[in-house]
Amino acid sequence: MNAPARFRFLFASMAAAATLAAAPAHAGKTLDGIKQRGAVACGVHTGRAGFALADGSGNWSGLDVDFCRAVAAATLGDATKVKFIPTSGQTRITALQSGEIDLLARNTTWTFTRDNGLGLMWAGINFHDGQGFMARKKPGLNSVKQLSGATICVISGSTTEKTLSEYFRAHKLNYKAVVFDNPEAALQAFSSGRCQAYTGDLGALAVLRGKELANPDDYVILPEVISKEPAGPAVRRGDDEWFAVVRWTLNAMIEAEELGITQANADELKTRSDSIQVKRFLGQSDDLGKQLGLDKEWALRIVKAVGNYGESYERNLGARSGLNVPRGKNALFTKGGLMMSPPMN
């Protein structure tokens, strides 16, 4: 190829790339189906305070519930257009694989096997957690390693059961697992004394201790954290457009907190902010929505519907919830945590 031909080829390639970059994305078959149905089918926990819990009137609340509503706000323009489908530890994966749900937002740990062997993809992490142990207080008990020989309540169908086995084997400790299909039965067994300890994600243990046990001060959460449990929303493989929508919904909630955009000030910032980042986020400059098959104000709707990530956390798990679960690793990276959004530009 001579020099002029090479230049012509280079310029043609650059032009084609620019055209592709500027072209609106197709919404994808999952989102097409959601629009026809008029609701996002979202798999959530059967009932865990702080994450997904329905009251007596069937009104759902929680960190994962907020995320489902954020996706509906972004895609359908209405955060109420969600069908919440309770799933157990045993049914959550198959519900997503089978197409019963469009999205799984249920305290589900992102692991290698789940990501590569089950036909699923994780859109990100909305709660950094780790496995721990709760036990009834007694003099001198201050370590998991003092639980050798203990009976331990654990939920089946989760990474928790496997991690428990691996940890005790590695430390040459004996134990007897008492396995349950649901948290309610496990907690009842623990509180009645059938189990000497209860193991699960620390976030869940804090909620159970604060909300479900009759005398919280009678119990202690031991200091060891024996695993990393990055939990977040998952979708089926095979629909990259839907995956991008779900991933950037989560990123938008985090980015909004980074930028100081809240439910209360979003509309004001839309018209008054001089920040190019804020204007872009709120759809007042570059049109980020077209690359997702959405409109310009998709991110604005998310914040107006459920708030930024920090607002959702405080309402469901933090001081405003009464659970007072510290942000810890779930604080923004600028405040010593791990939460960060890739740049939205």
Three-class SS state of 327? coil
For the stretch 308-326, pLDDT in tens is 999 999 999 998 998 889 9
For the stretch 9-31, pLDDT in tens is 444 444 444 443 444 455 689 99
> What is the reported pLDDT for 20?
39
When pLDDT is averaged across residues 196-200 and rounded to a whole number, the result is 96
Classify each residue of 119-158 as buried b or exposed e, where b means 16 or more C-beta atoms within 10 Å of its C-beta.
Answer: ebbbbbbbbbbbbbbbbbeeeeeeebeebeebbbbbbeeb
CA distance 270 to 301: 12
> What is the reported pLDDT for 21?
43
In CATH, what number does 131-227 get? 3.40.190.10
Q: Does the predicted model carry a pTM greater than 0.85?
A: yes
* Domain spanning 29-128+231-335, CATH architecture: 3-Layer(aba) Sandwich (3.40)
CA distance 195 to 209: 15
Evaluate whether 29-128+231-335 and 131-227 have a shared fold.
yes
Closest CA to 256 of 340, 170, 162, 154: 340
Closest CA to 62 of 35, 41, 44: 44
For the stretch 121-147, pLDDT in tens is 999 999 999 999 999 999 999 999 999
> What is the reported pLDDT for 133?
97
pLDDT at 279 over 80: yes
Q: In the chain, what is the straight-line distance between the N-terminal and C-terminal CA atoms, in Å?
A: 37
Structural domain spans, the chain: 29-128+231-335, 131-227
Of the given ranges (23-32, 53-62, 73-82, 168-177), which has the lowest mean pLDDT? 23-32
Q: Which helix (H) or strand (E) holds 127?
A: strand 127-129
For the stretch 83-110, pLDDT in tens is 999 999 889 999 999 999 999 999 899 9
Q: Which residues contact 251 (CB under 8 A, 6 or more apart)?
A: 124, 341, 342, 344
Place of tokens 């939920």: 155
For the stretch 140-181, pLDDT in tens is 999 999 999 999 999 987 789 999 999 999 999 999 999 998
